[in-house]
Structure 1
């Protein structure tokens, strides 16, 4: 017989010290033992900053918070729902969870999942999902704060534009997009995975200067076929202002953009922004960053 450790016989202040040195998964397992252990774990006041739910083609739905993982049979969502509520209680988690849909997740009924999970913070829709299933996911989980859509599941361009016009905090889109799509974006942070043409980017910046995309804080994308060596850019006809090296350095540090050069532009209403570009490679990464103050 393995030796046991008489944890609950220790003074409570000593128990708390022991618990503070346990991993999150161990704490959760301990909390299931009894009401006393549950209350002890709750008393630690540990806050789970993220709860993620992964839905794929396996026999189980994965639920994790940091390094704590569970699996629940899809035949019944009652244990899943109960455990999600339990984690919220034990680890003081009040925010909506992150939900990721992966390959072969059609075995799970999307409407029932939405009823069980409720609203989500982050929604990730894999490119491997069928168009029909992707549309079903987007229909039911239609209010995420952060949306990662890896493929356009709609034949009608108006349908994907209905997604773009929603007020997301962050949206990443990994399929083809038009200038009209860019102008309809109503999110604060935008990431387009595929490159835009020089003309497309030039027209977008000019529209932004005239007042489009008022919610936008940052947009990241690449621009095709820029020849920096010969001085070719996508900023023709756009008034750009030089910036001090100190101002550039602060923006690089704040936004995690090493090795980027940048210029300042300004909207007609006076709102300043910078366009930062990493000039390495055929399709350099480009970032439009709206500033809350005018850099020196």
Structure 2
């Protein structure tokens, strides 16, 4: 159990070395920055949840949190809240956790309301590059822009709200070399065509016309790195019939082929599909699922 091994490692240098020598492999280390600063160490179905700099313990809650100060994290073990007896600053704690759990990959980090109490630049210096970056809708545009400036090379970017006013600034998000981009605000056709990632998930509905134009551009050669795009259309935007496929040559698919793609991409059995082909011969499928008010699309490139 991660909780026991972490607590045991704190007893002495010998126990720390023993825990390290076990070679415990962790799949992820996630950091959540809000009013609290929390670190989750995840190994399969096991996890260790550590809380640092609990703002409820500060006399002046408006004062910034200094992560260079020593702190003793708390964690739950067998239904009780335990307090580590050893005191390090946050940077030393992160190095300690990485060492005993043999973790060398970039971390995942999520920012929520309350993160303003921490110095973003100092967090970046401590954590380094991150694998996944999540920026909550709760944050002000100024704070979101600071986060995007500091943590500017994530593999996965989850941006719930667009913090930029200028289109050229917004488009910098889409041309980033992310593997995965999740975007929760309004976007344009130009934004879609600038996407340089492999997977993109749009959570704000688009129009049938915009989706139709995107598919036609893809057929002509746009978005060469794209592997999977997920988006939706409000049914009130569709006057009649499948206008989103107007002027696009579609090919029928066998039920076996549809089933294979559903299983591979973990799609619902209710997702129907048609196949299209771009000019260079690359094939893609458009998966379609209709609900009462929304039509959901999965645009999947085949290899």
Q: TM-score, normalised by structure 2?
A: 0.85
Kindly tell me: are residues 218 and 265 of structure 1, through their superposed partners in 2, closer, same or farther at Cα, counting changes over 3 Å?
same
Matched, 1:269 2:280: yes
Give 3-state SS (helix, strand or coil) of 2:182's partner.
Answer: strand
The C-alpha deviation readout for 1:182-219, integer Å capped at 9, x for no partner, is 00111100000011100000000000111111110000
Pick the structure with more strand per residue: 2
In terms of mean alpha carbon deviation, does 94-103 or 272-281 score higher? 272-281
Matched, 1:70 2:50: yes
Q: What is the CA RMSD across the aligned residues, in angstroms?
A: 1.7
Give the deviation of 1:44 after TM superposition: 2.4
Say which of 207, 210, 227 aligns to 2:220.
210
Say which of 106, 119, 123 aligns to 2:133.
123
Distance 1:219 1:37 in 2: 48
The C-alpha deviation readout for 1:11-63, integer Å capped at 9, x for no partner, is xxxxxxxxxxxx1111111111122222322232221111011111x2x4111
Matched, 1:181 2:191: yes
Aligned to 2:108: 98
Summarize the alignment of residues 197-276 of structure 1 with structure 2, pairs less than 5 Å apart. 197-225=207-235, 231-258=241-268, 259-276=270-287
Give the deviation of 1:101 after TM superposition: 0.6
The C-alpha deviation readout for 1:110-143, integer Å capped at 9, x for no partner, is 1111111100000000011011110000011100
Kindly tell me: are residues 227 and 110 of structure 1, through their superposed partners in 2, closer, same or farther at Cα, counting changes over 3 Å?
closer
Structure 2 gaps of 5+ residues are: 54-64, 70-88
Say which of 284, 291, 294 aligns to 2:302.
291
The C-alpha deviation readout for 1:145-196, integer Å capped at 9, x for no partner, is 0000010111111101011101100000000000001001111000000111
Say which of 21, 46, 50 aligns to 2:28.
50
Distance 2:7 2:122 in 1: 27
Give 3-state SS (helix, strand or coil) of 2:286's partner.
Answer: strand
Distance 1:157 1:228 in 2: 27
Aligned to 1:5: none
Aligned to 2:155: 145
Distance 1:276 1:180 in 2: 22
Distance 1:107 1:227 in 2: 43
Matched, 1:28 2:38: no
Distance 2:107 2:68 in 1: 16
Count of residue pairs brought into register by the alignment: 268
